[in-house]
Amino acid sequence: MTEPVSFYDEIGGHATFQRLVEVFYREVALDPVLKPMYPEEDLGPAADRLRMFLEQYWGGPTTYGEQRGHPRLRMRHMPFHVDPDARDRWLRCMRAAVDDARLPPIQEATLWDYLERAAHAMVNTFEPSGIGPDAGGRPTL
Ligand code: HEM
């Protein structure tokens, strides 16, 4: 009996995910809406958290869970103003990263499909920036 190969292994394991988040955060750093949302000036720790989460999700090491517990991603995004504009910007950055990975079409579609659905699920406000969960529901404009 051979072990089934995980999607994590299929697409190249740690090196692929490392590169994916590296390209993604390089794009985030250039985005005037996304960059200010990150609490830390250094995006390195956020990149590590996203990488560990994605690695675990796709059947790789479970370091994310060991360090961060249950993902509860929607809840963890509540402090941030994730409106459709932020979502589209996030997806644009991720698209650049996925393109860079040059995966075979089937794997690329599998990964992209998930990322798109996850990004849509993360939207937590349709209010303009300054009104919404991050502002405690109070307008700050
Ligand atoms: C839709 C647009 C999104 C925006 C604007 C956004 C923004 C953010 C921000 C500002 C943080 C805090 C940075 C930090 O970790 O210190 C964060 C954390 C995180 N995000 Fe997102 N995110 C989005 C979608 C997603 C999606 C689709 C996923 C997963 C597929 C994801 C996974 C994560 C993870 C794993 C963390 C770290 C959670 C933890 O604290 O353990 N995000 N995100």
Q: What is the mean pLDDT of residues 69-87?
A: 97
Kindly tell me if the per-residue pLDDT of 138 is higher than 80.
no
Residue 120 alpha carbon, nearest atom of ligand 1: 1
Q: What is the pTM of this model?
A: 0.92
Between 18 and 138, where is the model more confident?
18
Domain positions in the chain: 7-122
Query: Tens digit of pLDDT for each residue in 82-96?
Result: 999 999 999 999 999
Distance 41 CA to ligand 1 centre (A): 15
Phi, psi of 137 (to 5 degrees): 80, -5
Percent of the chain with pLDDT over 90: 87
The residue contributing the CA closest to ligand 1 atom 29 is 118
Binding-site residues, ligand 1, Cβ < 6 A? 34, 37-40, 46, 49-50, 53, 68, 73, 76-77, 80, 82, 86-87, 90, 115, 118-119, 122
CATH of domain 7-122: 1.10.490.10
Per-residue pLDDT at 140: 46
Q: Are the beta carbons of 86 and 78 closer than 8 angstroms?
A: no
Cα torsion at 137, 131, 37, 93 (round to 10°)? Answer: 120
Query: Tens digit of pLDDT for each residue in 38-49?
Result: 999 999 999 999
For the chain, the 3-state helix, strand and coil shares in percent, each to the nearest 5, are: 60, 0, 40
